[in-house]
Structure 1
Amino acid sequence: MNNSKLVLLFIFSLLLIACKSTNSPKAVTETFLVSVARLDMHTAKNYSTRQTWSFLKVLEKETKDLTDEQKEAYMNNFKVKIIGEKKVNDTMYTVDFTTTPELFPFTQLNLVAEKNLEGNIRWKIDFNSFEYMQSDSTIHEIMAPGEEPDEQVMVDSSLSQ
């Protein structure tokens, strides 16, 4: 009888350890990055603040001309590695990450705590579009290297003359 209780306790503790919170700053960051790489902006919005949504709209516009082959080639090799996280205060974390291939020209995201309707805390990516605009790379350059979206427009407009 004692052995069976011990076995049950052991199994229960294994289950608790194996369960990974989907609302941890690390898990939210990973889900957000994978969603953006898949161009699944609906899911990315669920894991981000309203301030971040304008950034996602810009990404959506920049990637609308990518072919399905370009998107698939990018996703086939896509990997996220969370390097670390730092608690700034009770309502803010920073998470350092790398992606292969590169997704963004930066490797750190801020997360803020937001309460949902039930009063539970949910971690959300809080990104300022201004930070992205200061970088040298665009998402199109990263996902479709060697091809400039403006070059295609220039070629098409010269054909019509």
Structure 2
Amino acid sequence: MPGKEETKVIALNRKARHDYFIEETYEAGIELFGTEVKSIRGGNVNLKDSWCDIVGGEIFLKGMHVSPYEQGNIFNRDPIRVRRLLMHKREILKLYDQVKQQGLTLIPLSLYFSGSKVKVSVGLCKGKKLYDKRSDLAKKDAARDIQRAQKEHSRY
């Protein structure tokens, strides 16, 4: 279909889902150079310790590591350079107000292709305390044990 765009996930930030409660998610474009896009197509990107910052009415992605493209020469950029995200001005101002007033933070959750464009899913997040992380792990372990028991029971 000509009107339907295909999405292909490139990288996920699993640590963000472990360390933060995700209040809302937003989609943003990202400003990249040609060799960075080629490297991202190969999956050479890491979102683990990245975050977003709003400066001067613009939103920037910091800490994202894009490995240099092997066939690139002088056109390769710094792997952890600051990259600008592309969002509407009113969305950026809304996020800025929420970050400053409520003490929330902006964390990139995933990087994906939407058609031929690279997009970033940005989450408005609230940090988890240690006991929240422990309770989440306990719930996951309990669910895993239940699944194992059901699978074992279904064999007989």
**TM-score tier after normalising by the smaller chain length:** under 0.3
Higher RCO (CA-CA < 8 Å; seq separation 6+):
2
Report which of the two has the higher share of strand: 2
Using structure 1 for the length normalisation, give the TM-score: 0.25
Question: Which protein is bigger by CA-based radius of gyration?
Answer: 1
Report which of the two has the higher share of helix: 1
Using structure 2 for the length normalisation, give the TM-score: 0.26
